[in-house]
Structure 1
Amino acid sequence: MTGFPILSLMLLVPLVGAVACVKASRELARTIALGTTLVNFALGVVLWLNYDVGGAQWQFQEHADLFAGFSWKLGIDGIALVLLELTVFLMPVCIGASWNSIEKRAGEYYAAFLAMETLMIGVFTAQDLFLFYIMFEAGLIPMYLIIGVWGGAERIYASYKFFLYTLLGSVLMLIAMFWMVNVAGTTDIPTLMQFDFPPQAQTWLFLAFFASFAVKMPMWPVHTWLPDAHVQAPTGGSVILAGVLLKMGGYGFIRFSLPMFPVASAYFAPMIWGLSMIAVVVTSLIALVQTDMKKLIAYSSVAHMAIVTIGLFAFNRQGLEGSMIVMLSHGLVSGALFMMVGVIYDRLHTRDIARYGGLAINMPYYALFFLLFTMASIGLPGTSGFVGEFLSLLGVYQVSSWVSLVATTGIILGAAYMLYLYARVVFGVQKNADAAAMPDLDMREWAMVVPLAAAVLWMGIYPESFLAPMRKDIGVVEARVAIAKPKGDAQVRTASHAIARTAGQNAVEPR
């Protein structure tokens, strides 16, 4: 694959497909969209097979100077690889989930999805700071349109809230980027990952990037846009929002905050843990009382992503690897759960839990797959959910037993709200004749759930397949933040101040 621009091709294919879909009829547009996403998935398989595990950190690199201060720089490491593969894996599922439900302006709908695929891939492959920012922010536009045009009754409110929350946080990040480039003299992300910014400046830089990544995750208390966005978005929009877009925040932390601002990361680790512990408990309790299936799963996403930030800021291999696996698992499982909600919503046109019950009688295969994804969400051993949560909690336990204890309560609460949801929808008495008359999965729905179920089991049974490509790159991040590793419950802040003094002696002064 040396010299072949496969990353640029993966960016170009969905972009061309988007242009072809704009004016196409509904039938043609969805066929083009499905074909395009399958082509990109095939390219993703080629990328996976040709990635040299244990080889150079940055592979499949492409570089072309475009104009003053801006370069087309692409490349991936193992961390970017697995998230890119998650993206191309979920995109055909999103198209399949929208196959019958989108009727108005279908060509534009599929064009927005394909444009978003280009931008999401761009986020994970960009090696130029400003190229990353463009891809990161431009991804808001198609998602804003998907919610605002094809969403539910309160779609306008939800789309504006989604757009404003995520945009305002990123303005500070852009200002910080300009300062970083002025000091470091480069926009190259791999170079910036090894650059020693002054400790005092790291505090402000960390907060500027945190303002963007915390909203994108989303972290408590800037999470309130997510339930509204999920409830109003069409099924395909919810799948890709939960599956990939939320992961951009976690990717930002591990790509920028930890390696570029290790001193500040150590200093603010207690704050991150505090916010994450609140999120795990509070949003889990809120999920318990929801009557809307989508809103319940949306709040569960906030709790699961809090496990990600807890593991990341443990600054050890188990925590970092666990956080990455949680992101991958959550991308699959939450996407699958939203799709399962979409399956019955397409039949009954309601997400009210009370309107269902006893679906195991007339939809046994649906009940079986729903059970698998429910068990994966609560971390049953043998599923993808167990591996990531176990590693994350093991990583943070080495640093703080109290944080790990609170995080573990979130898993218990997660089992409570997910099993409560499953029992009310699938078991019990069939109270409504229209729900009792719903048919089981059709061939299109089988084609969507089987790959997701296989991936969830594969990750749970043999996680090494996903850990191996990123192990070396996790080691690079771990080495970068090693000086910032907290020493224990009572020593976190003491260690942070000591690190700041040490780093201050070696920091590169601003130009």
Structure 2
Amino acid sequence: MTELHLPWLECAILLPLLGVAWIARRPHADQVRRRCIVITALTLFCTVGAWQDFATLHRFEAHDRWDVISHLIGDEVLVIDELSAPLLPLAALLYLMTTVATLRTKVRRFSFGRALASESILLALLSSRSPWLIVALLAASTIPPYLELRSRRRPTRVYVLYMGLSVVVLALGCLGTQLHGVPGTAPTWALGLLIIGILIRSGIAPFHCWMTDLFEHASFGSALLFVTPMPGAYAAIRLLLPVAPDWALQSLALISLVTAVYASGMALIQREARRFFCYLFLSHSALVLVGLEIATPIGLTGALSVWLSVGLALAGFGLTLRSIEARTGRIALTEFHGLYEHTPTLAAFFLLTGLASVGFPGTFGFVGTELLVDGAVQAWSFVGMAVVVAAALNGIAVVQTYFLLFTGTEHFTSIPLRGRLPERLAVLSLALLILGGGLFPQPGIASRYHAAMQLVHARAHLSAPKHHADHEATDSGPEVLADDAATVHKSIAASSDWRSAHVSDD
């Protein structure tokens, strides 16, 4: 393992914490917002620097040394690899865009200090591989939303019950797998506890009630930042994937598949915009888990690509809904609102980000969704069909909500509702990334394929006896990997052909 040229990860994690102290004694809300924008922008710069520094090393992993803590826990504290390299800038970008898109009318309701603290915790989580450190950071990340619910005098019972149960079962599951001592042969009860903890934290049915409750009672921005980076998926990769046998992964994949279809159906019938967004996100996050638990190179590549595309698309989608809610209050989906004439820019962003989340051609998620379906079909044919059904229902729900919000009637108001410059900049930045990733998917898909292969090799070494892994690698491994690589290249070529055909038509 090599060391990064500069301590980018350390700076990215410490900057938000220093920012909390910097804004603590500034009573003027607008000044606090401006300082928070500066801190989140610098944090994004550090995460991008870590990504580029890692790319120049041409290594599978790199780290920043925190020697004292490393000696205490017996493992590297901050590690960046193929999996976490793009996730860190994605998380930092979400916090920056949410801060920028917060209007002056909302600055007193959105806690910038808690947002910076949660960003620091999230970045530390995404650069950690030690099981106990991951569990501790997952527990710490639940504190800022709880404090917000308390400060808003909203009920906390459901949130505390589910988050507390998730932390406890994850800790017990990690304890069981480590006490057993033999990699790949963890006891069934420990694996079951890990699966339950991941299901709860990811909001997989029937453990999804806390997520709808959080969107109902917390501020939209805080709820968005808490769920959109998908820390439950990260916990599944780091805690469960290396040690779980095939039956455990298949069980988690099937439960997630049922949740994806169920949540997509629920999104169609919601009567309130926040709940609609919550179920739409639940469906997509469940699809990511389906691909992760297939544990094949194609399925993992698709899932990791969809993870990035959904994070970008649904973040922009949620920020658009948040901007509309800032003008009209809580949005009911029982009637037409006719807001297009007042907010045409937000309407365009709403449709773009919503369709991008379901893998519309020309967007970042197109190739990833295709790879996810291919991997699911290779595992079980009915899983691929269910993935397509869930994506189709999500697309219908997005278009239906668009018509309810922006068409159908004429909206009269004496107050201008046009999008403000910060909102347009935030969502436009995400839209450019979504379209850029769709028109030029090769770098992103190649990076996710390398991360998938790294996870497959790690699972092969940890889950099986060494002689069996060596035998498998010398016999059928090269042919399987060559077929998977060919499938990835075909998907990228199909996306390039689609782009070329539409450009020539224009």
With the length of structure 2 as denominator, give the TM-score of the two structures.
0.85
Q: Confirm or deny: 8 A CA contact 1:459 1:466 kept in the other structure.
A: yes
Deviates more, 1:11-20 or 1:368-377: 368-377
Structure 1 residue 232 corresponds to structure 2 residue 211: no
SS in 2 for 1:76: strand
1:494 match: none
CA change 1:300–1:484 in 2 (3 A) is farther
Q: Letter of the aligned partner of 2:122 in structure 1?
A: M
1:295 match: 275
SS in 1 for 2:26: coil
Structure 1 residue 18 corresponds to structure 2 residue 1: no
Alpha-carbon distance in structure 2 between the residues aligned to 1:277 and 1:295 = 20
Shift in Å, 1:16: 0.5
Q: Confirm or deny: 8 A CA contact 2:9 2:47 kept in the other structure.
A: no
Structure 1 residue 118 corresponds to structure 2 residue 120: yes
Structure 1 residue 254 corresponds to structure 2 residue 258: no
Alpha-carbon distance in structure 1 between the residues aligned to 2:228 and 2:243 = 26
Deviates more, 1:271-280 or 1:398-407: 271-280
Q: Given the alignment, which residue of 424, 438, 452 partners 1:460?
A: 438
Q: Confirm or deny: 8 A CA contact 1:51 1:59 kept in the other structure.
A: yes
Alpha-carbon distance in structure 2 between the residues aligned to 1:361 and 1:119 = 41
Q: Confirm or deny: 8 A CA contact 1:356 1:424 kept in the other structure.
A: yes
SS in 1 for 2:160: helix
Alpha-carbon distance in structure 1 between the residues aligned to 2:200 and 2:441 = 29
2:169 match: 172
Q: Letter of the aligned partner of 1:47 in structure 2?
A: A
2:142 match: 140
Q: Confirm or deny: 8 A CA contact 1:18 1:115 kept in the other structure.
A: yes
Q: Confirm or deny: 8 A CA contact 2:336 2:407 kept in the other structure.
A: no
Shift in Å, 1:2: 4.0
1:190 match: none
Superposed, which structure 2 residues align to 1:401-416 within 5 Å? 401-416=381-396
2:349 match: 369
Q: Given the alignment, which residue of 69, 88, 91 partners 1:87?
A: 91
Shift in Å, 1:356: 4.8
Shift in Å, 1:250: 0.9
With the length of structure 1 as denominator, give the TM-score of the two structures.
0.84
Gaps of 5+ in 2: 472-506
1:491 match: none
Q: Deviations over 1:211-255 (max 9, x none)?
A: 2221121211111111221232223213312321xx111111122
SS in 1 for 2:242: helix
Shift in Å, 1:54: 8.0
Shift in Å, 1:383: 1.1
SS in 1 for 2:291: helix
Q: Confirm or deny: 8 A CA contact 1:144 1:160 kept in the other structure.
A: no
Same amino acid, percent of matched pairs: 23
CA change 1:399–1:129 in 2 (3 A) is closer
Q: Given the alignment, which residue of 228, 239, 248 partners 1:243?
A: 228
Q: Given the alignment, which residue of 397, 419, 428 partners 1:441?
A: 419
Q: Deviations over 1:483-510 (max 9, x none)?
A: 999xxxxxxxxxxxxx89x989x9xxxx
Shift in Å, 1:437: 5.6
Q: Letter of the aligned partner of 1:405 in structure 2?
A: M
Q: Letter of the aligned partner of 2:101 in structure 1?
A: A
Q: Deviations over 1:337-376 (max 9, x none)?
A: 2211111111111211346522222222221111111211
Alpha-carbon distance in structure 1 between the residues aligned to 2:341 and 2:129 = 52
Q: Confirm or deny: 8 A CA contact 2:272 2:333 kept in the other structure.
A: yes
Q: Letter of the aligned partner of 2:161 in structure 1?
A: L
Shift in Å, 1:281: 2.1
Shift in Å, 1:104: 4.0
2:7 match: 5
Q: Confirm or deny: 8 A CA contact 1:347 1:438 kept in the other structure.
A: no
Q: Deviations over 1:94-123 (max 9, x none)?
A: 2123342435476xx111000001100010
1:223 match: 208
Shift in Å, 1:8: 1.2
SS in 2 for 1:156: coil
Q: Deviations over 1:50-77 (max 9, x none)?
A: 2227822211332413475466621110
Q: Confirm or deny: 8 A CA contact 2:121 2:140 kept in the other structure.
A: yes
Superposed, which structure 2 residues align to 1:6-155 within 5 Å? 6-25=8-27, 26-52=29-55, 55-66=58-69, 68-69=72-73, 73-104=77-108, 109-150=111-152
Shift in Å, 1:473: 3.0
Alpha-carbon distance in structure 2 between the residues aligned to 1:101 and 1:205 = 48
CA change 1:217–1:388 in 2 (3 A) is farther
Q: Confirm or deny: 8 A CA contact 2:304 2:448 kept in the other structure.
A: no
Alpha-carbon distance in structure 1 between the residues aligned to 2:129 and 2:249 = 26
Q: Confirm or deny: 8 A CA contact 2:43 2:92 kept in the other structure.
A: yes
Q: Confirm or deny: 8 A CA contact 1:78 1:471 kept in the other structure.
A: no
